A and B are shown apart, each in its own frame.
Chain A
Amino acid sequence: MTQVEKIRKEFPELGERVYGKPLVYLDNAATSQRPLSVIRKWTEMSEKYNANLHRAVHRIADLATAEYEATRDAVREYLNAAAREEIIFTAGATASINLVAFSFGEAFVRAGDEIVVSEAEHHSNIVPWQMLCERKGAKLKVLPVDDRGCLRLESLDALLTPRTKLLCVAHISNVLGIVNPVREIVRACHARNCAVLVDGAQGIVHERVDVQDLGCDFYVFSGHKVYAAPGTGVLYGRRELLEQMPPYMGGGEMIGTVRWSGTTYAPLPQKFEAGTQNLAGTPTLRPALEWATALRESAVQENLETIKLFILNKLRSDKRFRLYGDPEDGKDKIPLFSFSVEHLHHEDLALILDKMGIAVRSGQMCAEPLMDRFGVTGMLRVSFAPYNTLQEAEYLMESLERAIKMLER
């Protein structure tokens, strides 16, 4: 059994059949499949450790709290954050961004201030900032991408002014699949006293993330894209900033004391964890990140690199395809490809591929401004994970050819 076959055995969904055909799952950027260790932890939390956290003195509550807090330590270690208080559990990347948009906004953003987002952001890293700007009378500015999909860093200097409080950028765009030069962006922003939030929804899956090395002020990600349970997520925030930010939601364990005369708040991280937490889900982050580490092993990465070069070569060498997110230096590209096929609609292609057993994404991919930028109503996206095989990539390209023939008649 090859290594990838062994890995696939651990992800039960990959053994499923659709319309009588083996499932070829290439929508990993939307959500990853989950390994048995995650599924077991998820169940175990409901079977053995189901109690509310931090509040009761009974045994099960102790065990549940221990699991939850051990997960925080694991995430801290994974991200190499300076302190466990800097790891806040949320419902996902979107929830993390909304938390920052509210709490950072309350603490630091005034009328006339500016927030910068890149043109290649997911709606979740656009809309919360539009809402903040509307609330505060601040201004949203856009860092554009070039025709290849790379951020136009040369325009950064002019965008940053003394009023720019925060720049928000994806570590890796969910449409373009390009690793952005976050370190360089952080340096430029910090030199101008501007904080940086990195949307790591895709980055956490494909990059070895070290928040101290990146230097960013906030790093957010969702659990479900990195093999953990859905409805889980993380906000990493620099302690100094988190301390100055007011709570986002009130209630539950986020309090210090509650009096009619006023309430004090719990210290970090509980200050930002109002209400009952995702008791069963959040602890799955631990086995999930263990998997993420294991899958970074060189033999697995080589397989993924082979797949990447195979698809990249196919899409680049055929004039019928237009690839969005095509950096000259292919090493900044992850195995995620959004493209269109000449004269054909992305939805038609996705529907036919689906009936061939291949799960892909079609449409606007939660990035309408980017669709406008490239003048399209949508794209077709295939995104590979370490458990995908070269055979699946070959089957995709053969099936795509068949689908094109069907549609072109």
Chain B
Amino acid sequence: MKTLQEAQAEVIEDFSMYDEWLDKYEYLIDLGHRLPPFPEELKTEDRLIKGCQSRVWLDTTAEDGRLFFRADSDAIITKGIISLLIGVYSGRTAREIAEDDFSFIERLGLRENLSPTRANGLASMVATIRETAKNHV
């Protein structure tokens, strides 16, 4: 398995291949479509992340100290962003996630280029992943 830093660098590189924002969105939409299906019965109030204009559900399972994330959204670009996050963080130890500074999101340039409400949603997603990890350390 790649290290967290390697995985992050790879995502940043993939994303920076696109100069135009519309192309970046094409890429996110594509990722969103390819996100594995999320069981309907997991779409519960306690898995719903607050602060997003679209609805986002995040489910976490812990196995041998590692955290596995599954998620879904009713909006496809959000699903693409979730897919990026899950690709980087899922399957890592709670400690590794909890100790990360999540600065790679700034480096992706996603936060500043998504609308403020969306940045809010992104911040909520990140905060939820972080909190979950801290609770498992």
Q: Which B residues from 71 to 115 make CB contacts under 8 A with A?
A: 74-78, 114-115
Q: Which B residues from 22 to 40 make CB contacts under 8 A with A?
A: 22, 25-26, 29-30, 33
Nearest to A19 among chain B residues (CB) is B21
A-B contact pairs, 9 of them (CB 8 A): A345-B74, A348-B77, A351-B25, A351-B77, A351-B115, A351-B118, A352-B25, A363-B117, A409-B30
B53 adjacent to chain A (CB < 8 Å): yes
| Inter-subunit contact B117/A409 (CB<8 Å) | no
**B-binding residues in A (CB < 8 A):** 19, 345, 347-348, 350-352, 354-356, 362-363, 377-378, 406-407, 409
Nearest to B77 among chain A residues (CB) is A348
| Inter-subunit contact A409/B33 (CB<8 Å) | yes
| Inter-subunit contact B114/A351 (CB<8 Å) | yes
B50 adjacent to chain A (CB < 8 Å): no
Nearest to B52 among chain A residues (CB) is A347
B128 adjacent to chain A (CB < 8 Å): no
Residues of B with C-beta under 8 A to A409:
29-30, 33
Q: Which B residues from 109 to 136 make CB contacts under 8 A with A?
A: 114-115, 117-118
Nearest to B73 among chain A residues (CB) is A345
| Inter-subunit contact B74/A377 (CB<8 Å) | yes
Minimum CB–CB distance from B19 to chain A (whole Å) comes to 11
A347/B53 contact (C-beta < 8 A), A377-B74, A406-B29, A409-B29 known:
yes
Residues of B with C-beta under 8 A to A19:
21
Interface SS majority for chain B: helix
Minimum CB–CB distance from B35 to chain A (whole Å) comes to 14
Given contacts A347-B53, A363-B53, A409-B33, 18 further A-B contacts (CB under 8 A): A345-B54, A347-B75, A347-B77, A348-B29, A348-B77, A351-B115, A354-B115, A355-B22, A356-B22, A363-B117, A377-B54, A377-B55, A406-B22, A406-B26, A406-B29, A407-B76, A409-B29, A409-B30
CA distance A165 to B47 in the complex (A): 43
| Inter-subunit contact A406/B118 (CB<8 Å) | no
| Inter-subunit contact A347/B118 (CB<8 Å) | yes
Q: How many A-B residue pairs have CB under 8 A?
A: 47
Minimum CB–CB distance from A331 to chain B (whole Å) comes to 33
Minimum CB–CB distance from B30 to chain A (whole Å) comes to 8
Minimum CB–CB distance from A381 to chain B (whole Å) comes to 13
**A-binding residues in B (CB < 8 A):** 21-22, 25-26, 29-30, 33, 53-55, 74-78, 114-115, 117-118
| Inter-subunit contact B78/A347 (CB<8 Å) | yes
Nearest to B75 among chain A residues (CB) is A345
CA distance A347 to B74 in the complex (A): 10
Residues of B with C-beta under 8 A to A356:
22
CA distance A377 to B43 in the complex (A): 15
| Inter-subunit contact A347/B22 (CB<8 Å) | no
Minimum CB–CB distance from A128 to chain B (whole Å) comes to 24
Minimum CB–CB distance from B8 to chain A (whole Å) comes to 23
Minimum CB–CB distance from A368 to chain B (whole Å) comes to 13
| Inter-subunit contact B25/A355 (CB<8 Å) | yes
Listed from nearest, the 5 A-B pairs whose CB atoms lie closest are A345-B75, A355-B21, A347-B75, A347-B54, A347-B53
CA distance A406 to B32 in the complex (A): 12
Minimum CB–CB distance from A317 to chain B (whole Å) comes to 26
| Inter-subunit contact B21/A348 (CB<8 Å) | no
Residues of A with C-beta under 8 A to B21:
19, 355
Minimum CB–CB distance from A150 to chain B (whole Å) comes to 28
Minimum CB–CB distance from B72 to chain A (whole Å) comes to 12
CA distance A351 to B118 in the complex (A): 9
Minimum CB–CB distance from B122 to chain A (whole Å) comes to 12
Residues of B with C-beta under 8 A to A377:
54-55, 74
Partner of B76, one of A348, A355, A362, A363: A348
CA distance A351 to B117 in the complex (A): 11
CA distance A356 to B78 in the complex (A): 18
Minimum CB–CB distance from A316 to chain B (whole Å) comes to 26
Residues of B with C-beta under 8 A to A350:
115
| Inter-subunit contact A378/B25 (CB<8 Å) | no
Most B-side CB within 10 Å, residue of A351, A356, A407, A409: A351
